[in-house]
Structure 1
Amino acid sequence: MSIRHSLLALLHDQPRYGYQLRVEFEDRTGSAWPLNIGQVYTTLDRLERDGLIRNNGGDGEGHVVYSITEAGRAEVQRWFEVPVARTNPPRNELAIKLALAVTLPGVDVGAIIQAQRAASMRALQDYTKSRRDASSNPRRADTAWLLVLDSLIFQTEAEVRWLDLCEARMAQLANTGP
């Protein structure tokens, strides 16, 4: 996830200070990916260094307010126009766990799959309930949260299908021997 571009996009909307950026990001994404405030300020420092934002000084309450520069606006526009690259998929801890589990003696891969399936099904139920609740309010921020929830639902459904495939492969392996 590009924190850099997310913060730029929020600054494109209006000038803000670090904590406001964190709150806005989490509000718009339903806190699905919480931001560490230290990460926000480190990113702001880099964006300022790179000429994409400017420090507007304090707001009188001890907050440093940042605004986007023309170079920052162009960077956000490029980010929105360019598809997300699939060349370097994010690490998937579950796939790594199962890949290692099948290569180590004495690991009950079936139990790992069952435990994960149960957890994934609970998450899917929670996401679906959240989606139902959020659907009742047509505000713009809720639309953003609905998009995030839809993504989480589809990813979790795909994970459950993949776990079914893993289980079938383990059964096939057990039937054919080592």
Structure 2
Amino acid sequence: MSIRHGLLALLAAGPRYGSRLRTDFEARSGGTWPLNIGQVYTTLSRLERDGMVAQDDVDAAGRALYALTEAGRAELRAWYDRPVERAGPPRDELAIKLVMALGADGVDVREVVEAQRRHVTRALHDHVRQRAEALARAPEHPEEMARLLVLEQLVFQAEAEVRWLEHCEARLLRFTREEEPPPQEQPGA
């Protein structure tokens, strides 16, 4: 997730102070990606260093307001224009766990797969329930659209993970059947 670009996008609407950026980011992402306030100020510091934001003023409470610079606007436009790179496969803890379990003594990989499937299925049901709630609220609350899009991404990711786990289970079953020696013929049969 690009906190950097998310903050630039929020600042495009006008100057804001750090904790307001945090609140707006979490609201815009439907509360799915909570931000630590330290992340916000560290990112603002780097954006300021890179000339993309500048401290504009202070509000009535004495909080520093950050504003987008022309360089920040150009970077934001470039971010919107370029596709998100999916070049290298990310390190996925589940995939690493399964490949390590394959060679581990005393570990039944099928049990690992099944435990993960149960977990993801519960998460999927929760995402689907939350999506239904967001859909019900969306007509009266247009801000629910952001949350709805994030929840739909989570639903699709969970569905894909369940499908992959089912594939892994089928692959493991075929593999173990291929490794089993053929049954011996009984003498006199």
Settle same-fold status: TM greater than 0.5: yes
TM-score category of the 2 structures, normalised to the smaller one: over 0.9
Does residue 96 (structure 1) correspond to residue 96 (structure 2)? The answer is yes
Q: Secondary structure at the match of 1:16?
A: coil
Alpha-carbon distance change, 145 to 52 in structure 1, aligned in 2, over 3 angstroms:
same
CA deviation after TM superposition for structure 1 residue 105, in Å: 2.1
Q: Counterpart in 2 of 1:34? A: 34
Greater than 3 Å deviation, 4+ residue runs: none
The worse-fitting range, judged by mean Cα deviation, of 167-176 and 155-164 is 167-176
Aligned 1:14-93 pairs, distance under 5 A:
14-93=14-93
| Amino acid aligned to 1:6 | G
Q: Counterpart in 2 of 1:11? A: 11
**Counterpart Cα distance in 2 of 1:40 and 1:132:** 31
> What's the % identity of the aligned pairs?
53
Task: Report the aligned-residue RMSD.
Answer: 1.4
**Counterpart Cα distance in 1 of 2:64 and 2:126:** 38
CA deviation after TM superposition for structure 1 residue 140, in Å: 3.3
Deviations 1:18-45 (A, max 9, x none): 1111111111112212111111110000
Structure ID, larger Rg: 2
Deviations 1:105-134 (A, max 9, x none): 221211111111111111111111111111
Listed as ranges, the gaps of 5+ residues in structure 2 are 181-189
The worse-fitting range, judged by mean Cα deviation, of 41-50 and 51-60 is 51-60
Query: Number of residue pairs matched?
Result: 178
Q: Counterpart in 2 of 1:107? A: 107
Q: TM-score, normalised by structure 1?
A: 0.94
Q: Secondary structure at the match of 2:112?
A: helix
CA deviation after TM superposition for structure 1 residue 12, in Å: 0.8
Listed as ranges, the gaps of 5+ residues in structure 1 are none
